[in-house]
C-alpha cells in the first residue's frame, strides 16, 4: 500500500511525520501551472483526457485575465477546475505591505509564496506611470551605495512573480490615478541579468499578444554591468531597452563603489556594448548617480563624455538618496548643474532625474524591505 503525501509547492521542502520508512511513500508535488509553456500545458491536458483547446483558455485566464485561482476560470467545467487544483498550484504574489509618499509614489511589499518579501514601486508623473519591479530576493553585488546591496541574495524570482508585481502596480495606478501603467523598469531589488531566464520570461508574458500585450519599447532592464549577459541580450534579439548603472567612468572609482567592476571593467563593458549596438542598433541609457565630491567634477564629466562615445546613448543623472550607514551624500546643485551642462555642451543627451518617494525609502537605491503599513 502506497501513501500519498501532498506537497503544495515544488520549491518547498516537505516535513514528513511518520514512523514508516520514506521508501514506502510516494511524494506528489504540485506544479506551478504558470511555469508551463502553452505547448506543455496542451500535452498535459491531453494526458488528463481533456481537449487541447482548453490550454488556450487556461493560458488566457493566467496571462490576460491574471487569474490567481482556478475557481475564477468560469468557462471551465467544475470537474476540470477540480482536476487542475489537484495537480497544479498558482504561486501568486500578494501585496503584504504598502506605503504612499507625499509625492504620490506608492511602495509595496510583495509577499512571495515561500514567505520572502520584495519591493516594487509605482512612480506617478504627469507624462507617465512607471512600475519599478524587483527581479531577485536580495542582491549579490553589494554596491556600496545601495540599500539592497546590504541584503543577502536568497533566490531569483520566477517570470510569473515579476509579472504579478506589474499587475498589482497597474491596479494601484488605475485605482489611485485613474491611469494605466505606461512604463516598466527592472530597477528594483536584485540584478536582472543574473536572473536572465526569469526576466526574459516575464517580459515575454508582459508583451505577448496572449499576455498583456504591452510594448517592449516601454520596458527598460537595468544592469550593474554583466558583460557576457549584455552580449546575450543582443544574441537573443531582445526588444526592450537596456540601461547600464555606470556611476563612474574610470575603473578606480567604479571599483570603489561597485565590486562587479573588478570582473567587468569599463573596457570589458565597452566591448560588450559595441557588440550589443552592432547587433540591435539600439541606444543605451547610462544611469549615473551623482555623489558629492566623488564623481561630480569636471574631470568626471570629461571621462563620462569619452565613455559615451562608445555607442549612441543618453545619460540619466540621478540624485543620490541617503541610505543608513552609507557616507555618500548627494551632489550639490551647482556642481550638478555644471556637470550636466558639460555633457550637453558635448552633444550628450543628459537629464537630471529628481528622486521620488524618498520619504518612504522608495527612491532609487533605497529598497530594503523596511517595515511599512500592512495590508489586510
Domain definitions of the chain by residue range: 3-89, 94-360
Rounded to an integer, the average pLDDT of 357-363 is 52
- Cβ–Cβ under 8 Å, residues 273 and 310: yes
Burial level of 115, CB count in 10 A (0-12/13-18/19+)?
Answer: exposed
Q: What pLDDT shows up at residue 245?
A: 96
Burial level of 20, CB count in 10 A (0-12/13-18/19+)?
Answer: exposed
For residue 148, the 8-state DSSP code is G
- Res. 13: pLDDT tops 70: no
User: Per residue in 51-74, pLDDT tens?
Assistant: 999 999 999 999 999 999 999 999
Confidence of residue 147 (pLDDT cuts 50, 70, 90): confident
Residue 362, C-alpha cell as written in the block: 522608495
- Res. 148: pLDDT tops 70: yes
Rounded to an integer, the average pLDDT of 266-272 is 98
Q: Quote the percentage of the chain above a pLDDT of 90.
A: 77
Q: What pLDDT shows up at residue 357?
A: 54
Confidence of residue 361 (pLDDT cuts 50, 70, 90): low
Rounded to an integer, the average pLDDT of 23-28 is 48
Catalytic residue (one of 50, 119, 191, 201): 119
Asked if 119 is an active-site residue, the reply is: yes
d(CA 176, CA 124): 10
User: Per residue in 335-355, pLDDT tens?
Assistant: 999 999 999 999 999 999 876
Catalytic residue (one of 139, 146, 313, 364): 364
- Cβ–Cβ under 8 Å, residues 110 and 120: yes
Which of 140, 149, 208, 158 is closest to 33 using CA atoms? 158
- Cβ–Cβ under 8 Å, residues 185 and 228: no
Which of 205, 188, 189, 260 is closest to 230 using CA atoms? 260
CATH architecture label of 94-360: Alpha-Beta Barrel (3.20)
pTM value?
Answer: 0.88
Q: Which fold has domain 3-89?
A: DNA polymerase; domain 1 (1.10.150)
Which of 53, 45, 6, 44 is closest to 25 using CA atoms? 6
Confidence of residue 358 (pLDDT cuts 50, 70, 90): low
d(CA 135, CA 199): 7
Asked if 256 is an active-site residue, the reply is: no
Domains 3-89 and 94-360 equal at CATH topology level: no
Query: What do you get for the CA distance between the two ends of the chain, in Å?
Result: 44
Residue 125, C-alpha cell as written in the block: 508623473
Amino acid at each position: 500500500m502506497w501513501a500519498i503525501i501532498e506537497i503544495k509547492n515544488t520549491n518547498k521542502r516537505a516535513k514528513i511525520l511518520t514512523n514508516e520508512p520514506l521508501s514506502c511513500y510516494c511524494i506528489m508535488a504540485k506544479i506551478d501551472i504558470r511555469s508551463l509553456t502553452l505547448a506543455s500545458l496542451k500535452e498535459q491536458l491531453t494526458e488528463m483526457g481533456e481537449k487541447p483547446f482548453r490550454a488556450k483558455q487556461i493560458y488566457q485566464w493566467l496571462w490576460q485575465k491574471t487569474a490567481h485561482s482556478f475557481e475564477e476560470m468560469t468557462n471551465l467545467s467544475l470537474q476540470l477546475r477540480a482536476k487542475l487544483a489537484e495537480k497544479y498550484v498558482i504561486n501568486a504574489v500578494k501585496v503584504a505591505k504598502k506605503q504612499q509618499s507625499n509625492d504620490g509614489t506608492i511602495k509595496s511589499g510583495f509577499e512571495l509564496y515561500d514567505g520572502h518579501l520584495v519591493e516594487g514601486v509605482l512612480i506617478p508623473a504627469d507624462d507617465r506611470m512607471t512600475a519599478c519591479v524587483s527581479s531577485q530576493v536580495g542582491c549579490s553585488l553589494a554596491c556600496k551605495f545601495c540599500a539592497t546591496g546590504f541584503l543577502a541574495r536568497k533566490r531569483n524570482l520566477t517570470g510569473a512573480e515579476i509579472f504579478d508585481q506589474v499587475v498589482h502596480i497597474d491596479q494601484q495606478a488605475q485605482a489611485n490615478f485613474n491611469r494605466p501603467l505606461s512604463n516598466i523598469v527592472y530597477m528594483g531589488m536584485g540584478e536582472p541579468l543574473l536572473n536572465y531566464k526569469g526576466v526574459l520570461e516575464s517580459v515575454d508574458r508582459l508583451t505577448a499578444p496572449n499576455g498583456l500585450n504591452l510594448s517592449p519599447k516601454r520596458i527598460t532592464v537595468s544592469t550593474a554591468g554583466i558583460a557576457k549577459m549584455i552580449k546575450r541580450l543582443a544574441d537573443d534579439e531582445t526588444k526592450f531597452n537596456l540601461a547600464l548603472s555606470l556611476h563612474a567612468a574610470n575603473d578606480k572609482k567604479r571599483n570603489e563603489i561597485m565590486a562587479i567592476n573588478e570582473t567587468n571593467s569599463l573596457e570589458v563593458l565597452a566591448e560588450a556594448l559595441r557588440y550589443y549596438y552592432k547587433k540591435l542598433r539600439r541606444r543605451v541609457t547610462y544611469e549615473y548617480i551623482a555623489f558629492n565630491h566623488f564623481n561630480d567634477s569636471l574631470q568626471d564629466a570629461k571621462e563620462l563624455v569619452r565613455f559615451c562615445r562608445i555607442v549612441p546613448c543618453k545619460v540619466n543623472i540621478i540624485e543620490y538618496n541617503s541610505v543608513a550607514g552609507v557616507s555618500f551624500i548627494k551632489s550639490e546643485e551647482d556642481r550638478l548643474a555644471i556637470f550636466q551642462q558639460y555633457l550637453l555642451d558635448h552633444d550628450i543627451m543628459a537629464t537630471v532625474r529628481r528622486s521620488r518617494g524618498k520619504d518612504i525609502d522608495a527612491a532609487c537605491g533605497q529598497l530594503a524591505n523596511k517595515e511599512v503599513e500592512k495590508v489586510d
